[in-house]
Amino acid sequence: MNGGKLGIIGIGLLGSALAERLLGAGYSLLGYDLDRKARLKFQKLGGQSVRSAREVAAQCNRIVLCLPNADIAENVIAEMLPVASGSTIIIDTTTGLPEKMEELSNSLRQQLISYLDATIGGSSEQARAGKAIAIVGGEPEPFDSCRDIFDCFAEQTFHVGPPGSGAQIKLAVNLILGLNRAALAEGLKFAEALGLNLDEVLRVLKASPAYSAVMDTKGDKMLNEDFAPQAKLSQHLKDVRLILETGDKHSAYLPLSRLHKRMLKTAETNGYGESDNSAVIKIYDLMTKQPVEADAVGEPT
C-alpha cells in the first residue's frame, strides 16, 4: 500500500518531525493543522497544506494523527468520517486511555475503517533523526500495510497486540521515562548542593551503573537550562494523569507517579508547561519555596 498520498493532521513538534521524515523518503504528503504557522512551515518542507481534516480524508487512504490529546483526535476523526473511504487506515500517535482507543477502533471497524494506536517512544528530535520507536496496537493487516510509514521514522517498530495495547505499553514507557528525568534532575541538584562540577558529574553518571538514556537526551539541556521544547512538560503531565487514571482502574499502586504529578503541576503553575521536559530540574528550585509534603504520595489524583 505504498502508492497514493499520505495525510498528516497535527503538524506541531512531533507532527513536523514525522512530516520531515516522510517527505525525505519521497512520499507525497497532505497536511492540516489549526495553526497557520505550522501549515506554512509544512509547506516549506515540501508538503501540500490543505484547509481541513476533511480535505485530508477525502484525498488520502492512510492518515497519521499527531494531536495533543485523545478528545481532539476523536473530534478530528468524526470530522473526517463522512468523506473517508472504506479502505482508510488511521494511524493515531496520540497517547490516550487504552480503553478509549479500543472503543474507537471497534466503532470505526463497523464503518470498514482501520485504526492503529501507534504511539511514539522518543522526542520530536529523536523522531526527526529516525531514532524513535513505534509501539503499535491494532489488527495485523492494517499494521502490515503501514510498516513502510513506521520504517521512515522508527528505529524499531513493535506490533504489541490488539487495539489499545500500544497505548497501554506507551503509558508504562512514559511512567519510567518521566521518573528517570526527575531522578536525573534530583541527582544533579544534589551534586550542585555539594559544590561539585556538574559537567564532570554528568560525565561520570553516563559511565556509571546509574546510566539511563535521558542523560544523553536531557542532561546537557538541564545543565544549560536549555528548555526549548522537544516534548512539552504539560504534555507529560497529561500522560501522568492518564497513567494514574489507568492505574486506579486496575488497582495499581503508583506512589512515585502521584508525587511526580504534584511536582509537574508545580512546574506548570510556575510557567514551565510549554517548556521542554528537561525543565523538570527547575522544580527543585521551586520546591524550596513550595515543598511537596512526604505524605502527598497518598493523595488522590
- Confirm or reject CATH 3.40.50.720 for domain 6-162, answering yes or no: yes
Give per-residue pLDDT as tens, 105-157: 999 998 899 999 999 998 899 999 999 999 999 999 999 999 999 999 999 99
The answer, yes or no, to whether residue 95 has pLDDT greater than 60, is: yes
- pTM, two decimals, is 0.87
Q: Classify each residue of 252-275 as buried b or exposed e, where b means 16 or more C-beta atoms within 10 Å of its C-beta.
A: eebeebbbbbbbbbbbbeeebbeb
Confidence grade of residue 86 (pLDDT, cut at 50, 70, 90): confident
Please name the helix (run of DSSP H) or strand (run of DSSP E) that holds residue 132, with its range, or none.
strand 132-137
CATH code of the region 168-298? 1.10.1040.10
Cα torsion 251, 254, 255, 257: sign: negative
As annotated, the residues of the chain forming the CATH 3.40.50.720 domain(s) are 6-162
As annotated, the residues of the chain forming the CATH 1.10.1040.10 domain(s) are 168-298
> With 0-12 CB in 10 A as exposed, 13-18 as middle and 19+ as buried, what is 147?
middle
